Each structure stands twice: as structure tokens, then as C-alpha cells.
Amino acid sequence: MNIPTNIATLIVGVLVTLISFWVGQHHGLLPVAASVNAPLIDGLFDTMITLSVGLFLLVQGALIFALFKFRKPKDDETDGPPWKENLPLEILWTGIPAIIVLGLSVYSFEVYNSIGGLEELAMQAHHHSMKGAAIAAPLNSTSQSSPTEPRLATIGFTAPANVKGTGVTVDVTGLQYAWIFNYPDSGITSGELHLPVGQDVQLKIKAMDVLHAFWVPQFRLKQDAIPGRETELWFKPTVIGTYPIVCAELCGSFHGAMRSQVIIEPQSDYDAWVQQQLADSAPSDHPTIASAGQSQSAETRLAPRLAEMGISELTLAQVHPHHDG
Amino acid sequence: MITAQLDGILPVNPSPELTERKWWDYFTFNTDHKVIGIQYLVTSFLFYLVGGALATAVRKELSTPEVDFVSRELYNSLFTMHATVMIFLWIVPAANGAFGNFLLPLMIGARDMAFPRLNAIAFWLIPPGGILLMSSFLVGAPASGWTSYPPLSLMNGKWGELIWILSLLILGTSSILGAVNFITTLLLMRRPGIGLNNMPLFCWAMLSSSALVLISTPVLAGALILLCFDLIGGTSFFNPTGGGDPIVYQHMFWFYSHPAVYIMILPVFGLVSEILPVHARKPIFGYQAIAYSSLAISFLGLIVWAHHMFTSGVPGWLRMFFMVATMVIAVPTGIKVFSWVATVWGGKLRLNSGMLFAMGFVSMFVIGGLSGVMLASAPFDIHVHDTYFVVAHLHYVLFGGSVFGLYAAIYHWFPKMTGRMINETWGKVHFVLTLVGFNLCFLPMHKVGLAGMPRRVAEYDPQFAAINLICSIGAYLLAVSTIPFVINAVYSWVRGPKAGANPWNAISPEWQTLSPPPIENYLGEPPFVPDPYDYGKDYNPGKRPMSQVKAADLWR
């Protein structure tokens, strides 16, 4: 029995489509999505996987089919057919990819906007007025950051204007080879990031020495920590758990060991952790001693790792902000 | 059967001094483009073996999650040197210098390149540049990645970094000199009657690639010189402690280094466009579409560099611009891929080693192209930037793409370069080993990257141990796969059966002369080939063998 070509083509097309969609939904390549924005990025990835599998099967299938079907018959030294062009076909394979990438561009743009990548455009005017205030204010905290002030609008992912200032804000400092987390509201300094589930989180990221990159795969978020510049990440964790914080930008010989973890916990556990930290840091009436006490506690916690990496106590002391200033 | 085509071109008994090179010519400052092309090819292949050894050491370290093979410092040097050697001493000189030099004058009917002495200088910058780079192992090799981002690159060993900068300046100069030569030769030295639209497609690819070299390499040189000042002069162009901006370096670096990807892949696109029609016995499908898409890729390649900086210090709106520009590159690239598939479709495929590698190129490059579109999407790239997903992607483009294409070209033009046939059986063994080893090594990397493994680490989360072991086994297989190739190539070069002028019955002009070509390329007038892909003239399946076709029939 000979199946007519157009029917064979139709069957192949249906099969390719079905396989693409199935793989797009069942690839299981990404880790758990633990922030409110992660599913958006996963949806984008699933779409791209679907399209890619389809195109892959099409091209690869054609090549493998040709490998067997169009192999030169023995003793046949003649040429193949002199096909040189086919305008409708060429328009088709220019047009369809063009439509696909334009569609993907628009989709990506939408996702990027929803996860806060373009908030700074909306805030430009606001930022300008803040600049004047910053200049007027006494520059009493120069020791905590590099000598240069950020020159551009905040880079990274910013919270939508209506959630600005709510939730948890953490100052993140990357240094060879550790992450230091400082909670300005409570004055806690920690080597691990504890966050309450379901709250907006704003990270203000700085680097002490070289470039680092703050990455939590489960949040699908990454932002370089750049010396002399502050960058920002905003997210809302949705799934309780412990996830790795990975340094993703080469920062020296211990780059692979520059890891920490983020612990997403219920509000009550988080509050308990905050209280515990405050108790550990030996509270005192005198602000200077309190500050020193915090440094002490962080150093104690990080000491084994830091000694191995050759980070001096002096370096560590520099990254601790002075909230008494 | 071959003499039939060459009737009227060759004198009966050409004297040897007009036709033959002595072996020692290849070790001298020779100005013959064919000698220089082979010098480039052999030199860059030797560096490929060095880069491969470095890669094998990297994979040995990564076969376990712990740091147990080399020190962390040395590990960082290994991958830095691996990338630098593979890019600047293997793919760029092999794709541009080697095949560009050997083929371009033959393809356009010229007797040599426009500036033969400059050409020899460009080649002779490569060995000192390469040896200088390798010498950095004596003083502490660079360890900041081939991107060499400050401030880290200013804080690791000073001498290693300085040597890295100097050798890249030397190699970049070589590249620029070559590009000047290619463009001039292609625009001004074509045989009368050969217009731009009669040129073989490799010529178009070299025009596009050389334009990129001329526009972007000087920017890298500028960045490296400023970095050098920061390193030894205490200036603060990029050093934040003195008020410099490390992000500016990234912009300058990627303004070269993204186009560099196209400098490494465009010539290979051209090579594959030559190889597929010959062995499929069909005209290239869509000559003009392929030619102009090279130019389009070349132009677009200049305005996408910041897609390497989506997680760095680039504002959101700029990330969006670079995202869209990058996505658009998929269109001209897709045109090429579909045209290659259409070229193969319905042909009479001679599945020799060259053809297998060329088809392998298309098939592997598609994977790299598809993951490239994914990476262009900024919100997704935020997740996978600087992970093993990127490592997988770039190797599918540069190994599955460029290196497969270069192997295809070596097998295809081996008879022309050496005058002898290369052994097909061992060629196929080489192909199968390379294909299996390559996919075993790089396909699983997509998975670990998506799951959370960053690149450039000597130690990693033990949950990735099994997949990394598979990758390492693939890498060992790849290392082994070069052994049959090297032995085959060396043996065939010395002892292989004589090839004759045109063993593939190809139409493009470089086959219409002796193998190896005489010193002045053609003994008489260079042939006039108005359509280098004019296959299918005798498409009467089973009627007239190619050997009975006169040259005049082929060229109208």
C-alpha cells in the first residue's frame, strides 16, 4: 500500500506538534518554582521548549530522512535535480521564524515587565528628586560602601510602586567568598538569608571587591553584585523551603564555594529567628557596643569558612553597616 | 575522466618548478597564499590539541564534585586558557586564516592574495602570540576567564594577565591584517567576468566575517590596552577603587566578543555551503538568500553585544533592545539552515567523511541555534546566565558548529591541499566517535545548568555528580576521537592514494586545477565558472555518467 505524500506529511505534522506540546509540558528540566514570578518565566521556557522541539524534529527529521532516502545508489554517478530556488518556500521559512521570534520578543517583554525589570523607567522622575535629597544629606556612611556613588538608576528588578517600602528589605554584600545579609530594620547581620513566606522582598546588592552574582535558581532570579554600584532584586517567595544561593559570576579561586542558603519560613518562624538573632547579638544601651556585638556574632558564625578563604576580620568589619550613624 | 574537464587548461607537461612546493617552504616566510593557508591550518590544529588537553583536564576535575585533581587556582587558569586557545588560536585562525587563505584566490581566479607579504606577516604573528600565551603557565597563567572582567582580572596574578593581554593584542593584529587582505582580494582581484554574485558562497561569508574583524577587533584592542594601563600603570579606567567603571569594560569586551562568535561561525557557514552541494550533487538552494543572510548576520552581530550582560549593569530598557535584536538574528540563520536542508533534500548523497561532518554540522548547529534563541529572551536568560546551560549552548555553536564544519572542510579539501585522498573508513570512525563524544559531553550540560549549576566552578553541588561524570566520559571520548584523525591525516598526506585534480567532480573553480595547485594556481588562464553550483545538468537519472560531460557543458 502506498500512502499519498500529502497524507503522510499531514500525519508527520500532527505527530511533531503533539510531541512538541507534550515535551513542552513534561520536560521537568527546571527546579521547583518558589517565587511569585518564577511560574511566569517557566511558562516562557515551556513555550520556547515547545517551539524548539518542533523545529528540532523538523530539521533533524529531514536530515536523517535524507541520510537514508537520498543516499546515492551504487554506480549512479549522475547528479540530483537542478533545483535552485523556490520563492514561496523561501518566503515561508523566512516569514514563519520572523513571526515566531517577534511573538517571543513580545512575550518575553511582557514577562520581563511583570517581574519588575522595567520599573525603573516609571521611577525615573522620582529618582531625580531623590538625588537632590541625597546630596543635601550628610555623607556619614561612606565607610560602608565604595567611594563612588551609583551613577545610574537602580539596575535589576524593582518592586512595583505600590509595594515599595513594604515587606522585608535586606542589604546584600558579596565579598570573596561569602554573602553577608544585613537587615536594616532590625540591625541583624547574617550569613544566611531568612525570609518570611508570601512577603515582598527587596534586596539591595553590593560588592566589596570583585564582581559576584546573586542567584537563587528556585526564584529564577540573578543579578550581578558590582563594586561601586548598587543593584536591586525584588521577589515574593511563595514556597516554604531552603534553597541555595549561588555566586554565578567568576570571583576568584573559591568561586565554586561561594554558596549560602535562603530559608523561606512561615512568618512566626521568621519572627522567632529575628528575636533569636537579636538576643544573640548581646543587646546593650550603648549603640556602638551593639554594633560591635553584631560584628562579633556574624564573625563567629562565619569564622570557619572565612579563615579557609583568607578573609581577614578587618575586611569583614568593613562590610558591617553602622546603624548608629 | 578528470582530464576531460581539464582539456585546454593544462599544458601537456608542466615543469616541476612551476607546480611543486618543497617541504621546507612550509617552515619559511613564504608569501604563497596556499603555503600560508596550510601553515595556518597545521599551526591552529596543534593549538587545538593543546586546548583539547586543557579541556580534558577541566573535565577530569569536574568528574567529581570535590576539588581533587588540580588546585582551585590552577583550575581557573585551565578553563581560561582553554577558551583563549580554542578561540584565538584554533577557530579564528583555522576558519579565517587557513581556509580563507587557501581557498579565496583559487575561488575567484586570482594568482595570490592582494598583499602577500602582509599575509605572511599575519601568519607569523600567530606562533609567537601562541607561544607567549602558553608561556604564562611559567609565571602563573591568567585565571579570570577568557572574558577577563575587572576588577578580578586586576587582582589575580599580574604577569599572567599581562601576558594574556599582550598575546591577544598580537593575535588580534594578525586577525586584522588578514581581514584587510581578504576584503581587498575579494573586491579587487576577481577574474574578469566573475561578479560578486558568481562568487562561491565561502567568499561572501569571508567578506561578512572580515568586515566584523575590521569593525570590532580594534575595540577589543582598546579595551585590553586600557585594562593593561589599569594593571601596570595604576590607572582607574575600569577599577572601581579609583572611580573606574567595570561595566564599561564589559561593553567594550562584548562589542568585539559577540561579533567574534560570527567571525568563528560565518566562514564555517561558507565552507558548509561549498561542501553540501558537491556531495549532494545538487545546486546550493537559494544562493542569494544564503549570501545576503551572511551580510545580515554580520550587521546584526554588531548590535547585540549586551545580551551577554542581562544580569550585569545594564538598565532594563536597554536589555529589551538587545533582546529583540538578538532574536532577529534567528531569521537569517534560519534561512541558511533551511536552505542547507533543501540542498540535501532529493539529492544523490555521497556519504563520505566530509559530507557526514557537514550534515553533522547542520544538525548540531540547529541545537545551538535553538538554545541561542532561548538565551536571547532576557527573563529566561536571567535564570540561566553564567550556568552550564550557556556552556552547553556555546559548545553546540562553536564545537557542534565551527569544529564540525572545520573537520568537514579538512576532509573535503584534503585532496586539493595535499594531492592525496584521505582514508574514508577512518574518517567515518572519527565522525562517529566525535558525534557520540560531543553529544555525551554537552547535551547533559543543558540539564545541570537549568537545575542550578553555575559555570567556572571547580566544586559543585553533589546532586549534579552523575550528570557531570557522563559529561566527562563524553569529553574523554572526544579526546580519543582525535587520535584516528591525526594518524589518518598524517599517514594519508604521506602515503595516501593520489587524488587527481578533481576527485569529487566538483564545479567550483578551486577544483579546476591540479592537486595540489601549482604555484601560480592555474597553469593557464584561471577558468571562468559563472555558476559554481551548477549541478544537475545531467539529471536524467541513470543516463549519462559525469565522466562523459565536457567542461564546456558544465560551464555553459
Q: What is the dihedral angle through the alpha carbons of B429, B431, B434, B439, rounded to the nearest 10 degrees? A: -120
Determine which of A45, A74, A84 to mutate to test the interface with B (most B C-beta atoms within 10 Å).
A84
Torsion angles phi and psi, residue A170, rounded to 5: -130, 135
**3-state secondary structure at position A225:** strand
The pLDDT score that the predictor gives to residue B305 is 93
Residue B7 gets which letter from DSSP? T
Q: Which of A122-131, A156-165, B112-121, B379-388 has the lowest mean pLDDT?
A: A122-131
Domain coordinates of chain A in residue numbers? 9-67+88-114, 155-319
Nearest to A105 among B287, B327, B535 (CB): B327
Query: Residues B123, B127, B133, CA angle at the centre, nearest 5°?
Result: 130
The C-alpha cell that represents A229 in the structure block: 554600584
B277: nearest CA partner in chain A: A80
A155 touches chain B (CB under 8 A): yes
Closest by CA to A194, choosing from A262, A125, A112, A103, is A262
Q: Please say whether the beta carbons of A249 and A172 come within 8 A.
A: no
Q: Which residue of B has its CA nearest to A256?
A: B457
User: Which residue stretches of chain A have pLDDT < 70?
Assistant: 1-2, 120-154, 162-165, 282-325
Nearest CA distance, B143 vs chain A (angstrom)? 8
Q: Which residue of A has its CA nearest to B286?
A: A85
Q: In the block, which residue shows the cell 583568607? A: A310
Q: Is the CB of residue A257 less than 8 Å from the CB of residue A190?
A: no
Query: Residue B328 in contact with residue B300, Cβ under 8 Å?
Result: yes
Listed residue (A49, A235, A227, A214) closest to A147, CA to CA: A227
A279/A268 Cα distance (integer angstroms): 16
Give B-chain residues touching A109 at CB under 8 angstroms.
320, 323-324
Single-letter code of the amino acid located at A115: I
Q: What is the pLDDT of residues B135-146, one digit of tens each?
A: 999 999 999 999
Q: What is the ipTM of this complex?
A: 0.89
Is the pLDDT assigned to residue B545 strictly greater than 80?
no
pTM of the model: 0.89
- Of the candidates A243, A206, A242, which has an alpha carbon nearest to the alpha carbon of residue A226? A206
Give the bridge partners for A241, in sequence order: A264
Residue type, B302: L
Q: A183: cis peptide before it, omega within 30°? A: no
B22: confidence class by pLDDT, cuts 50, 70, 90: confident
Is the peptide bond between A196 and the residue preceding it cis, with omega within 30 degrees of 0? no
| Residue % of chain B over a pLDDT of 70 | 93
How much is the pLDDT for A160? 73
β-partners of residue A156 are A232
**pLDDT value at position A150?**
43
Peptide bond into B516 cis (omega under 30): yes
pLDDT, residue B1, reads 36
Residue B547 has pLDDT above 90, yes or no: no
Q: To the nearest whole angstrom, how far is the Cα of A52 from the nearest Cα of chain B?
A: 6
Distance set, CA A316 to CA A23, A141, A206, B72, B157 (Å): 48, 16, 14, 23, 23
Q: What is the pLDDT of residue B154?
A: 93
A:240-269 residues touching chain B, CB 8 A cutoff: 244, 246-257
pLDDT at A122: 57
Cβ contacts of A96 within 8 Å, gap of 6 or more: none
In chain A, residues with a C-beta closer than 8 Å to the C-beta of B535 are 79-80, 82
Cα–Cα distance between A238 and B121 in angstroms, integer? 62
CB pairs below 8 Å between A and B: how many?
Answer: 308
Is B220:B183 a contact under the CB 8 Å cutoff?
no
Query: Would you say A188 and A277 are in contact if contact means Cβ atoms under 8 Å apart?
Result: yes
| Measured CA angle at B99 (ends B93, B103), to 5 deg | 150
**% helix, strand, coil for chain B, step of 5:** 70, 0, 30
Per-residue model confidence as pLDDT tens digits over B416-460: 999 999 999 999 999 999 999 999 999 999 999 999 999 999 999
> CB of B109 within 8 A of CB of B200?
no
Q: What is the pLDDT of residue A289?
A: 39
Residue A256 identity: G
Mutate to test the interface with B, among A58, A127, A154, A250 (most CBs of B within 10 A): A250
Residue A78 to residue B315, Cβ atoms within 8 A: no
Q: How many distinct structural domains can be found in chain B? A: 1
Residue of B20 and B93 predicted with greater confidence:
B93
Question: With helix as H, strand as E and coil as C, how does B312-370 read?
Answer: CCCCHHHHHHHHHHHHHCHHHHHHHHHHHHHHHCCCCECCCHHHHHHHHHHHHHHHHHH
A77, A148, A222: residue with CB nearest B382: A222
Q: How buried is residue B63: exposed, middle or buried, by Cβ count under 10 Å (0-12/13-18/19+)? A: middle
Domain A155-319 sits in CATH at 2.60.40.420
**Domain interval for residue B103:** 2-554
Cα separation, B520 vs B111, in Å, equals 5
Nearest-Cα distance to chain B for A113, in Å, is 9
Burial class (CB in 10 A: 0-12, 13-18, 19+), B200: buried
Q: Does the pLDDT value for residue B57 go beyond 80? A: yes
- Residue B530: phi and psi, rounded to 5, are -65, -30
CATH number of B525's domain: 1.20.210.10
Q: pLDDT (tens digit, 9 = 90+) per residue, B502-542?
A: 999 999 999 999 889 998 899 888 999 989 999 988 775 54
Q: Mean of the pLDDT values across residues B381-388?
A: 95
Cβ atoms of A214 and A205 within 8 Å: the answer is: yes
**Chain B residues in contact with A256 (beta carbon < 8 A):** 67, 72, 454, 456-460
- Beta-sheet pairing, A259-265 with A193-196: parallel
What phi, psi does A122 have (nearest 5°)?
-70, -25
As given in the structure block, the three cell numbers for residue A87 are 520563492
Q: Which residues pair with A260 in a beta bridge?
A: A245
B444: Cβ–Cβ under 8 A, 6 or more apart, which residues?
A: B467, B470, B471, B474
**B240 contacts in chain A (CB < 8 Å):** 146, 148, 226-229
Question: What is the C-alpha to C-alpha distance for residues B197 and B199, in angstroms, rounded to an integer?
Answer: 6
The minimum CA-CA distance between A275 and chain B, rounded to whole Å, is: 32
What are the beta bridge partners of residue A265? A196
Residue recorded with cell 583536564: B57
Question: Measured between alpha carbons, how far is A251 from A246 in angstroms, rounded to an integer?
Answer: 12
Start-to-end Cα distance in chain A: 88
- Check CB contact under 8 Å for A81 and B285: no
Among the partner residues A82, A115, A121, nearest to B379 by beta-carbon distance: A115
Helices (H), chain A: 5-26, 38-69, 87-114, 119-136, 267-280, 287-309, 313-319
Model pLDDT, residue A142: 38
| Residue labelled with grid coordinates 538574528 | B329
Task: Find the DSSP H helices in B11-125.
Answer: 16-19, 33-62, 72-84, 92, 99-108, 116-124
- Candidates B77, B272, B331, partner chain A, best to mutate (most A CBs within 10 A): B331
Contact B360, B431 (CB under 8 A): yes
Picking from B415, B434, B419, the residue whose alpha carbon sits closest to that of residue B359 is B434
Q: How does DSSP classify residue A309?
A: H
pLDDT value for A300: 52
Which cell numbers hold the place of B117?
607579504
Residue B555: band (very low, low, confident or very high) from pLDDT cuts 50, 70, 90: very low
Task: Reduce the DSSP state of residue A241 to 3 states and report it.
Answer: strand
- B contacts of A78 (beta carbons < 8 Å): 281, 348, 538-546
Asked if A311 reaches chain B (Cβ–Cβ under 8 Å), the answer is no
How far apart CA A117 and CA A109 sit, in angstroms, is 9
> Helix B353-376 vs helix A38-69: angle between axes, to the nearest 10 degrees?
160
* CB-nearest partner of A105 from B319, B323, B370: B323
- Is the pLDDT at B392 greater than 80? The verdict is yes
The burial class, CB within 10 Å (0-12 / 13-18 / 19+), for B18 is exposed
- Copy the grid coordinates of residue A11: 500525519
**Three-class DSSP labels, B234-296:** CCCCCCHHHCCCHHHHHHHHHHHHHHHHHHHHHHHHHHHHHHHHHHHCCCCCCHHHHHHHHHH
The pLDDT tens digits for A288-316 are 433 433 444 444 545 555 555 555 555 55
Beta strands in B439-480 (DSSP E): none
